[in-house]
Every structure is written in structure tokens, then in C-alpha cells.
Amino acid sequence: MDQNDFIGVGGVLVMILLLVLRMPIGTAMLLVGVVGFAILNGIPAALMAIGTYPFQYAAVYDLAIIPLFVLMGNCAAASGMARDLFAAAYAWFGHWRGGLASATIAACAGFAAVSGSSVASAITMGRVCLPEMARYKYDPRLSCGTVAAGGTIGILIPPSTAFVIYGILTEQSIGRLLLAGILPGLLLTSIFMATIAIWMRFKPEYGPRGPRASWGERRRATFQAGPMMTVVLISIGGIYAGIFTESEAAAVGAFLALLYALAKRMLTGKSFNKILLETVSTTAMVFLILIGAQVFGPFLALSGLPEHIAGVVKDLDVPRVVILMIILGIYLLLGTFLEGFSMLVLTLPIVIPIVTALGYDLIWFGVVMVIVLEMGLIDPPVGINVFVVKSLVPEVPMSQIFAGIAPFWFAMMFCIGLLIMFPDIALLIPNSMIN
């Protein structure tokens, strides 16, 4: 390693230290990136970077997709779509043993298609589903684990802010990434529901059966959830058919979700102001992270560290799948103390050259990466979704919530294994899309 490599390593270590000290990830990347530029290229180059990158990047048209998808999710949550989805799923699955938990997973998957945020999915579905499962005497390990794990599907099924950020940072097609998440998202949903069924074979008392809905009740509940499915089919289907660009699809989806909320008379002036404030707040946070990444990434590239590591890894005399498993193992370890987006923007400048050198498809790797981020959302001790669920049911001990999450964590591992063995699960739809 030469002097520049050591500077790059030092920058990464300082970044981790700042994150441990609870500095916001965007601010930390800006600070380290600017100082690194100054050391490697001089203070004038650093001042030019900090003076031009934020303004240039904030004006990128593709970034409009972020506030629009966030607005779409906020309007969907305010309109009561989550309750309609759960009612429809419960009508079909509620009479199973553990049926309320399976209905929660199905509803989480449906809400993910209009949300794009795991935390928002966990909060919204938790408020709807946890009281129902408590009413039917579900064990807290099953109910809390289901909501925490089901919420993670929010960043896999499109629209997904994680795919948008990954696509921007790696210069991959956001549309292809969004489409690539559809089949893996449905696969993970099915695996979660199978996990609940297996769990009920061993612990049937955890999830008592609910009443069987009549066919008329099922039809009515499904019809009531129809508007949400219409929003999804128009926005995401429009991307696949080539009718909309990703940003246009986000705008159409946000507009339809807003119309639906207005039609149901669920919006007041106060609630609409809250939606707008939440949208602006989330967008500002994401933009700060992306702008910080656009300063920190070029600093690492200038140091030559990513290329040096990629060259070393490529020369290792081991199968490429072994290196992939090591990379994923490191991500799982990082997920125990780093928040998902922090992990994404911090590591991608180093990891992507390695993955490219190994010959893996970056769209496929993006899907695997998002599932690993999902696992970080329920990993101890950080596990943001765990703390979200804990805030909804403060009387349930954390130990029980983590115990309930464990089966779903292994289910995610199984899903990643299937994607490694059969990469076409992720690539089938984007490779068949109409250009």
C-alpha cells in the first residue's frame, strides 16, 4: 500500500469513528471527503468540491423520484390503505393457524408497493395489526417478530428508496433496479409466510385460528383494497411497459395516492401539512446523505484504495462465490452497529469495484444488498424496526421481540441463498422490460 492508500484507510476509519459518535452520516461524509480532498489535492480542490458538488447534485432530475415516492407513501398511509390491505389479507388467511401473522406479512408486502420505507411500513402496519393479534391472544414473540420482519419488505418491493440510492451511487438504471425487486420481494413474502406455517407446526398455541370469512366478505375486502393495487399497477406497471420514466411513475403514483386520500375524506389541512413536512424532512435527510456520498466517494477514488482492494481480491485463488460470501458476512457484521443507509453509502465506493472485478451483475447485487440491509433492520443491537415495534408495544420485553425475529432472519438467509443459486429470480423482469 502506498501513501494514498493509507490516507484512504484513515478516511474510512475516521468515518466510522464519527458515526460511532452519532454524527449524521451525510455530515460525516462531507467532512471526511473535504479534508481528504485537501490532503490529496490541496485546499483549492477541496473548496471547489464543497462549492460545486452539492448544487450540481441537488439539481439532478432523477433525484425527483425520492420526494415523489416519499409523498406517495405518506398519502397512502394517511388514506387508510394499510387497514384495507390488512382486512383483505385477513379475510383470506385469518382462519389459518397463525393466519393473522400471515395476513400481516401479506399486508406489509402490499403496503410496501406504495411506501418504499421499511420504518414507515413497520409503524403503519404495526398500529393496525398488533392490536388485532393481541385481541386474538397471539404470543408477543410471533406478533412482534412478524411486524418487525414484515416491515423490512418495504425497501425490497418497489418503490424502494434503497434501490434509488443504490442506483444513483452505482450509476445503474433505477427502473431496472425497481423491477428487479418484484420477484425477490414476492419470494421473500412467501418464505416469511412459510416460516410462520412451520413455526405453527411446533408452537400452535402462539397463533390461534381466527373465524373463517365467507366468500362474500372476501370479495368485499378484496374490492376495498383494489384502489391500492390500481396505484401500484399504473405506476410500477408503467415503468415496465415503457410508458413512464421512473420519475414520471413516482409523480403519477403520488398524485393517485393523494386523490384516493381526498376521495376517502381522510385529509384535513392539518394532516396534509404534516404529510408535506414529513416528505420534506425525509427528502432533505436523503439528499444530505447523497451529497455527502458524492464528496466522500471521489475522495476514496482519488486515494486509489477501492481499485487496490479490488485488484488484491481479484488475484485471490479462491472461487468468486467465496469472496461474495465474505463480503455479505462483513455486511451482516456491520449491520449489528450501523444503520442500513449509512452502511450503503459508506461501503459502496469500496465494494462495487470488487463486485465488478468478480463479474457479478450490479443489478442482481443491488437486490442481494437490499436484503442484507433488511437483515440489518432487525439485527441486534441496532435493529431500527425492532425499536419501532417496541415503541408500539412498550410492555413487551426486547428479548421476546428479538426471539420472534430469529426465524425470519434465517428465512432471509435462505432467500439470499436462492438468489445466489438462481440469479434470474432478480433479473428476469428487468431483462424482459420493454425499452
- 269-to-81, 96, 266 alpha-carbon distances in Å: 19, 41, 10
User: Could you give the CA distance from residue 54 to residue 279 in angstroms, rounded to a whole number?
Assistant: 20
pLDDT at 435 over 70: no
Q: 198 falls in which pLDDT band (50, 70, 90)? A: very high
Instruction: Share the mean pLDDT of the chain.
Output: 84
Residue 128: predicted pLDDT: 84
User: Could you give the CA distance from residue 402 to residue 407 in angstroms, rounded to a whole number?
Assistant: 10
- 74-to-113, 158, 160 alpha-carbon distances in Å: 12, 15, 14
Q: 417 falls in which pLDDT band (50, 70, 90)? A: very high
127 and 392 in contact (C-beta within 8 Å)?
Answer: yes
Query: For the ranges 1-5, 133-137, 273-277, 305-309, which has the lowest average pLDDT?
Result: 1-5
User: Counting beta carbons within 10 angstroms of the beta carbon of residue 376, is it exposed (0 to 12), middle (13 to 18) or buried (19 or more)?
Assistant: buried
Reported as a single tens digit per residue, the pLDDT across 364-408 is 999 999 999 888 888 877 677 888 888 888 888 988 998 999 999
pLDDT at 271 over 90: no
Q: 354 falls in which pLDDT band (50, 70, 90)? A: confident
Residue 373: predicted pLDDT: 85
Residue 15: predicted pLDDT: 81
Residues in Cβ contact with 407 at an 8 Å cutoff, skipping those fewer than 6 apart: 145, 195, 198, 199
pLDDT at 142 over 80: yes
Residue 189: predicted pLDDT: 94
Query: For the ranges 103-112, 172-181, 315-324, which has the lowest average pLDDT?
Result: 315-324
Distance of CA 414 to the CA centre of its chain: 18
Q: Given CA atoms 379, 385, 391, 393 in this order, what sign does their dihedral have? A: negative
Residue 363: predicted pLDDT: 95
Three-class SS state of 294: helix
**pTM assigned to the model:** 0.84
Per-position b or e across 139-174, b if 16+ CB within 10 A of its CB: bbbbbbbbbbbbbbbbbbbbbbbbbbbbbbbbebeb
pLDDT at 236 over 60: yes
Q: Write the DSSP string, 78-107.
A: HTTHHHHHHHHHHHHHTTSTTHHHHHHHHH
Residue 382: predicted pLDDT: 67
User: Could you give the CA distance from residue 278 to residue 174 in angstroms, rounded to a whole number?
Assistant: 23
Q: How many CA atoms lie within 13 A of 158 on its CB side?
A: 33
Domain range summary for the chain, segments of one domain joined by +? 3-432
Check whether the bond before 54 is cis (ω within 30° of 0): no
Q: 105 falls in which pLDDT band (50, 70, 90)? A: very high
Residue 2: predicted pLDDT: 65
Q: Write the DSSP string, 4-27.
A: HHHHHHHHHHHHHHHHHTT--HHH
User: Could you give the CA distance from residue 283 to residue 254 in angstroms, rounded to a whole number?
Assistant: 14
